[in-house]
Chains A and B, each alone.
Chain A
Amino acid sequence: MAITKDTVKHVAHLARIDLAAKELETLSRQLEDILDFIDKLKQVDIKDIAPTSHILPINNVLRDDSPRESLSSGQALENAPQKHGNFFGVPKVIE
């Protein structure tokens, strides 16, 4: 399947990644190769086969809704590239 530069650009926007013009070019070519290879899966008869998202026989693991120790806000902020007081700092979102 042909993967155009516009498709890659759109997907890169969804993934929030800036790509240089040269990267767009290389990636559209490589993705085309990879997806052609993946198209092999179309040969498989998957009628009535259930999907496997993980292999364990467990679902909806719950724990008691009771308070327990957690990181302090100071610890949680220790690695932040930018902070204001007790908050993470980001570029302005609201005009």
Chain B
Amino acid sequence: MNKLTAHELIEKSGKGEITAAEIFNSLKKRIKDIDSQVKAYVRLADSLDSQPEPANTQLPLKGISVSIKDNICTRGYNTECCSKILAGFKPPYDATVIRKLKEAGAAILTLKTNMDEFAFGSSTENSCFGPTHNPWDLDVVPGGSSGGSAAAVASDSAIMALGSDTGGSIRQPASFCGVVGLKPTYGRVSRYGLIAFASSLDQIGPITKDVRDSAILMNAISGYDPYDSTSINMDVPDYTKSLGMDIEGVKIGIPEEYFVEGLDKEIKTIVQEAINKLKSLGADYKSVSLPHSQYAIPVYYIVATAEASSNLARFDGVQYGFRAQGVKSNLIDMYKKTRGDGFGEEAKRRIILGTYALSHGYYDAYYLRALKVRTLIKQDFDKVFEKFDCVVTPTSPTAAFKIGEKIKDPLKMYLSDIYTISANLAGIPAISIPCGFTKKGLPVGLQILAKPFNEEMLFRVAYAFEQATPWHLEKPKL
């Protein structure tokens, strides 16, 4: 049962053939059998007791369990961002997406997945609980930062999952694990209760086994929320209505800057085949230019770290989480020791980089300059979308890399997000779907990007491709 998609389970549940408890028990068994190898989960509730009455067959999610990244607040249930500094934190409220999932009839929301600490990373190696392993090859990373959610979905120890994406943290792990990951338009999904990393870039989104499940989960979590002043008050379409529409005449732009040095040859070939497939399904494609692409990573590592340094100021050992012991005399010393002991290596690196970029004398040279180049990156996309319906690229320049390969070289790790970061800077929606495998048997992802609030185009193109290819049906051998 755990191997089925959410839409297959919803259908069975609607007919009364299965119950929420049966779905949950099959997940529990699968987790028990394989998660000691994959380590996708950091925390599990072991009973249905504390949950709302599930399996109301009138509701869209009909008793489906949704696994949740450890940075999304669940009331009364530990939410720690896989950081020592938030050890023991039990949020006094639910994130808006959690409330919406409950209202949509989801059953269990206390399966918490591993992540890079505070979502800082591209491999899930920066977790205080240790790394997650890729179900396709346990020696390689699942990607990150939502690596636990992606690995859980790929290994059938989750039906569907939520991740968060600040620079590719949903799409890159989805690509590495051979599943579907969507970053919605900035403002489409409420960030209330998502523990903030970079507030102008963060979005919560679905990680699922196929495109239909992605649309179903987006239907459940999207929409305006008065508790998030950056969520937009616009009608949410029924995303499942975009599934099955043909892609005849859809205009696809292929950015030339994404197919240059740095892109693995094998990935390039697989992605080109995927583009040909889209053409054979009726789409037209043309080469386009996004001339400021090469500046996306430097802009990101200023903007994201600057925002992070400010957001993470709240972790000071006073209101919640960890406090270093043994400092009784001085408040500042208590802050410094708590933060020095409580944050991991990458978190300290980013806070210090961000603080530097915002500090006196450097603000104009780094932060303000980065915000201006961000404008140019956004304008590149605006121009392309005047003539094209979507843009298609590889999700990542390589397939998943070995655990330990990049962890000692932060800059090298940052470069693995080269194709995903621009969507966050421009605020546009983007999806990664499986499009093939390398010779070593590792999944490859295809990224589709569209205009703000045009997730429907992503679903339309992604579903047409998925239904015409076998990649989403492959399962790792565990």
**A-side interface residues toward B, CB under 8 Å?**
7-8, 11-20, 23, 27, 30-31, 33-34, 37-42, 44, 46, 49-56, 58, 61, 63, 71, 75-76, 78-82, 88, 90-93
Contacts and interface: CB of A to CB of B under 8 A. Distances in A.
A33 B341 CA distance: 25
B260 interface: no
Contacts of B427: 54-56
Contacts of B47: none
Most buried by B among A13, A49, A63: A49
Contacts of A37: 297-298, 301, 411
A31 B352 contact: yes
A18 B340 contact: yes
Given A15-B352, A44-B373, A81-B322, 15 more contacts: A11-B356, A12-B352, A15-B339, A31-B352, A34-B414, A38-B301, A44-B372, A51-B371, A51-B375, A54-B199, A58-B230, A61-B230, A79-B88, A79-B321, A81-B318
B336 A17 contact: yes
Contacts of A79: 88-90, 92, 319-321
A25 B420 CA distance: 31
A12 B327 CA distance: 18
B295 A40 contact: yes
20 contacts: A8-B352, A11-B355, A13-B336, A15-B351, A15-B355, A19-B348, A27-B349, A27-B352, A30-B349, A37-B301, A44-B372, A50-B375, A52-B374, A54-B427, A55-B378, A55-B452, A78-B92, A80-B319, A81-B323, A91-B333
Contacts of B340: 17-20
B295 A44 contact: yes
B369 interface: yes
A53 B295 contact: no
A90 B319 contact: no
Nearest to B355: A15
B226 interface: yes
Most buried by A among B299, B321, B355: B355
Nearest to B428: A55
Most buried by B among A8, A11, A15, A51: A15
A11 B352 contact: yes
Interface in B327-372: 327-337, 339-341, 343, 345, 348-349, 351-353, 355-356, 359, 366, 368-372
Contacts of A46: 369, 372-373, 376
Contacts of A81: 317-318, 320-323
A14 B353 contact: no
Contacts of A31: 349, 352-353, 356
B92 A75 contact: yes
B302 interface: yes
B200 interface: yes
- Tell me the dominant secondary structure on chain A's binding face: loop
B77 interface: no
Interface residues of B, number: 72
A44 B345 CA distance: 31
Contacts of B318: 80-81, 88, 90
A11 B359 contact: yes
A76 B329 contact: no
Q: Sort A-B residue pairs by CB-CB distance and give the 5 closest, nearest first.
A: A18-B340, A55-B427, A51-B371, A79-B320, A81-B323
B35 to A, nearest CB: 28
A60 to B, nearest CB: 9
Contacts of B414: 34
Contacts of A33: 410-411
Given A51-B374, A54-B200, A79-B89, A17 B339 contact: yes
Most buried by A among B298, B317, B330: B298
B339 A16 contact: yes
B370 A41 contact: yes
A88 B298 contact: no
Contact of A52 (B316, B323, B330, B371): B371
A20 to B, nearest CB: 8
Contacts of B335: 16
Nearest to B186: A55
A29 B321 CA distance: 31
A47 B428 CA distance: 25
Contacts of A88: 318-319
Given A17-B343, A41-B295, A52-B374, A90 B331 contact: yes
Contact of A27 (B299, B316, B348): B348
Contacts of A11: 352, 355-356, 359
Contacts of B349: 27, 30-31
B292 interface: yes
A44 B331 contact: no
Nearest to A55: B427
